Amino acid sequence: MKEPIIAFNQFTFKYHSQTEPTLHNIDATIYQGEKVLILGPSGSGKSTLVHCLNGLVPFSYKGKIEGELLINGQNTKDLDIFTISTMVGTVLQDTDGQFIGITVGEDLAFSLENEQVPQQEMKEIVQQVAELVEVEDHMNHATHELSGGQKQRVSLGGVMVDEKVDILLFDEPLANLDPATGQYAMDLIDRVHQETDKTIVMIEHRLEDALHIEFDRVIVMDEGKIVFNGKPNDLLASDVLEQVAIREPLYLKALKYADCPLHSQMQLADLTRLELSASNKTALQQWSIVQDDATQSFSENILEVHNLQFNYAENPILQNISFSIRQGEMVSIVGKNGAGKSTLSKLICGFEQMDSGEILLHGEDISNKTIFDRASKIGFVLQNPNHMITKHFIYDEIALGLINRGYDQAEIDKRVIHALKVFGLYPFRNWPISALSYGQKKRVTIASILVLEPSILILDEPTAGQDFRHYTEMMTFLQELNANGTTIMFITHDMHLMLEYTSRSIVLADGRLIADRSAVDVLTDDQVVVKANLKRTSLFDLAQKANAQDPKAFVHQFIAYDRKVRKRWL
């Protein structure tokens, strides 16, 4: 039997600024070398739990602790943050808060420098790790010049360099990674685990992607309490995930919709090993075919991009990009980390100036328009909410754009209160933004743009860091907005989101547009999938495994049925 490495005993934690504890009576033991996944809806206390483990609670985030937390048998109340950091390494949810070095190379070398590792050895280790996380071409780049996914890779590399820590904590390591890199990151974490026997604790909303590797245990949290602590297959056979509104792997949801009972012996956590009986297969094949593929017709182009070219210094970032968006469309922009998706959005909104090409809005060239001018027509929601937020209180943040545009107080109140309600933020309206979870902050930033009622809305990964209920609410809200005439473009790494909500996908790889087709067509074209680091949805694989006649129709059927079921939540 392995030794306990982490033990929460009747552990309760209350932030000073809160009236109620965020964590209640947590009892959980994690053993040396275990791989544990922590799930839970937004605001359930997952990050707080992780912060207790790495010492940020109570050293940076003050509050009151009751009960005890032991790491390696030592009570954390007797330890300082430096000692904790020698035992626990963390990849934070917001990677920007974590970078120490100015360049990628310096950042990766930081912990080795602290340990006074000889120069030559340090260089070799840093090079090796940079190659592992595929950032070796960016060693001299400043960390703020990286794309979201590249930052995530450097953070992963940062903890892997650090050989002395026994426990590795990952707070949503997949949030900004493209699907293929996400799988690669999970494999990498698994490999580090196999080679070092470190204890791995991971928080991840993308359950299906996390289950790409085998976890020993899953802990599910809800409202600061543990509601499940057991094997992945047992969890997947239970209805716990449904109760706390966490998205189950799609292939399992499809089995449930087709009335196939799930048992933990069916190897539910791994689609490649999933055991389907003959009757399961028949049930899936008979899944009635509903084509909801009504082709929409759109009128004029609202946005046109012609031969756009953009370099950062000497580096070509976007080359020869041309596409158009029609009034009323909802389009996804997908592709590899660093492909240029965020840069493209910044060029459209005027945060960067293109080197050549043309951008037309309603047929008019907007190249000379300022960011402020463009912002009343084109709303842009950044990937990282902390890059957008400037105010202390939620209400003020959402009202800011309206105040800048000179709306009267009554109109401001009306719009802000409506947005607070729609985004589930009304109960928190008087809170400081610093007391919100990452997902909650993200919703504040989207609300702050939507109150301006732009005619095109561009969102950079709107659902990253959101739990499933908020994901559904957000996407339903965007759909309604779209149905009422707002044209929407969003960047996403979530393949099912792209399939479910957008009729058309623009695919970028290495600065070039490599496909502009229906989402289903994109995801069934293996060449495009490989080139742009995308991933087929598991629904296709399940349909094939069940010998269903038409896997595409199976996916459509799932989307239509699932949408009806989820409408009941709203």
CB of 333 to ligand ATP, least distance (A): 8
Region label for 102, one of left (φ > 0), alpha (ψ between -120 and 50) or beta (otherwise): alpha
Q: Which of 157, 179, 350, 439 binds ligand ATP (CB under 6 A)?
A: 439
Mask for 451-470, x = binds ligand ATP (CB under 6 A): ----------------x---
Closest CB to ligand ATP among residues 49, 167: 49
For the bound state, the minimum distance from the C-beta of residue 561 to ligand ATP, rounded and expressed in Å, comes to 27
CA contacts within 13 A on the Cβ side of 254: 34
Least gap, CB of 7 to ligand ATP (angstroms): 20
- Can residue 147 be called a binding residue for ligand ATP (CB under 6 A)? yes
- Of 16-24, 72-80, 113-121, 262-270, the segment contacting ligand ATP by CB under 6 A is 16-24
Residues 21, 24, 43, 249: which binds ligand ATP (CB under 6 A)?
43
Integer CA distances (angstroms), 529 to 170, 329, 495, 509, 515, in order:
27, 23, 11, 10, 10
Q: Does 61 bind ligand ATP (CB under 6 A)?
A: yes
Residue count, binding to ligand ATP (CB under 6 A): 37
Nearer CB in complex with ligand ATP: 339/559: 339
Nearest approach in angstroms of CB 199 to ligand ATP is 20
Q: How far is CA 356 from the centre of its chain?
A: 33
Please say which residue, 106 or 145, places its beta carbon nearer to ligand ATP: 145
Angstrom distance (rounded) from CA 80 to CA 127: 32
Give the per-residue contact string, 176-205, with ligand ATP (x = CB under 6 A; - = no).
Answer: x-x---------------------------
Q: Are 302 and 361 in contact (CB under 8 A)?
A: yes
Buried b (16+ CB within 10 A) or exposed e, 515-543: beebbbebbebeebbebbbbbbbbbbbbb
Q: Is 151 exposed, middle or buried (0-12, 13-18, 19+ CB in 10 A)?
A: buried
Candidates 28, 34, 37, 47; binder of ligand ATP (CB under 6 A) is 47
Name the residue whose CB lies closest to ligand ATP. 149
- Fill in the DSSP letter of residue 408: -
176 vs 445, which CB is nearer to ligand ATP?
176
The dihedral sign for the CA sequence 171, 190, 470, 536:
positive
Tell me whether residue 95 or residue 342 sits nearer to ligand ATP (CB atom): 342
Considering only residues 303 to 342 of the shown chain, the ones binding ligand ATP according to CB under 6 A are 312, 317, 337-342
Exposure b/e, 245-282, CB count within 10 A at least 16 = b: bbbbbbbbbbbebbebebebebebbebeebebeeebbe
* Angle, vertex CA 425, rays to CA 14 and CA 60, nearest 5: 35
How many other CB atoms are found less than 10 A from the CB of residue 307?
12
In whole angstroms, the minimum distance from the beta carbon of 144 to ligand ATP comes to 7
Is residue 359 a contact partner of residue 365, using CB atoms and an 8 Å limit? Answer: yes
CB of 152 to ligand ATP, least distance (A): 8
Per-residue interface string for the shown chain with ligand ATP, residues 257-296, x marking contact by CB under 6 A: ----------------------------------------
Tell me if 148 contacts ligand ATP by CB under 6 A: yes
* DSSP H/E element including 484: none
Minimum distance between the CB of residue 554 and ligand ATP, rounded to whole angstroms? 29
357 CB neighbour count, 10 Å cutoff: 18
Residue 380 near ligand ATP by CB under 6 A: no
- Residue 343 interacts with ligand ATP (CB under 6 A): yes or no: yes
Beta strand 88-91 pairing with 301-312: unpaired
Which among 243-251, 403-411, 430-438, 496-504 is the span making contact with ligand ATP, rule CB under 6 A? 430-438
Q: Does 105 bind ligand ATP (CB under 6 A)?
A: no
> Closest separation between CB of residue 423 and ligand ATP, Å?
13
Between 18 and 194, CB nearer to ligand ATP: 18
**What tokens were used for 237?**
């056979």
β-sheet bridge partners, residue 202: 37, 170
Nearer to ligand ATP, 374 or 469 (CB): 469
Report the residue from 39, 42, 182, 459 that binds ligand ATP according to the rule CB under 6 A: 42
- State how far the Cα of 360 lies from the Cα of 327, in Å rounded to an integer: 13
CA proximity to 181, closest of 201, 144, 154:
154
Q: Which residues lie below 8 Å from residue 167, measured CB to CB, with a gap of 6+?
A: 5, 6, 53, 71, 87, 88, 89, 198, 199, 200, 201
The DSSP secondary structure of 417-430, one letter per residue, reads HHHHHHTT-GGGTT
Under a CB-based contact definition with an 8 Å cutoff, are residues 129 and 109 in contact? no
Measured from the CB atom, the residue of 280 and 383 that comes closer to ligand ATP is: 383
SS3 content of the chain, % helix, strand, coil (to 5): 40, 25, 35
Choices 44-52, 102-110, 287-295, 538-546 (CB under 6 A): range interacting with ligand ATP: 44-52
Q: Which is nearer to ligand ATP, 85 or 342 (CB)?
A: 342
Residues that bind ligand ATP (CB under 6 A): 15, 17-18, 22, 40, 42-48, 61, 145-150, 176, 178, 312, 317, 337-343, 434-435, 437-440, 467
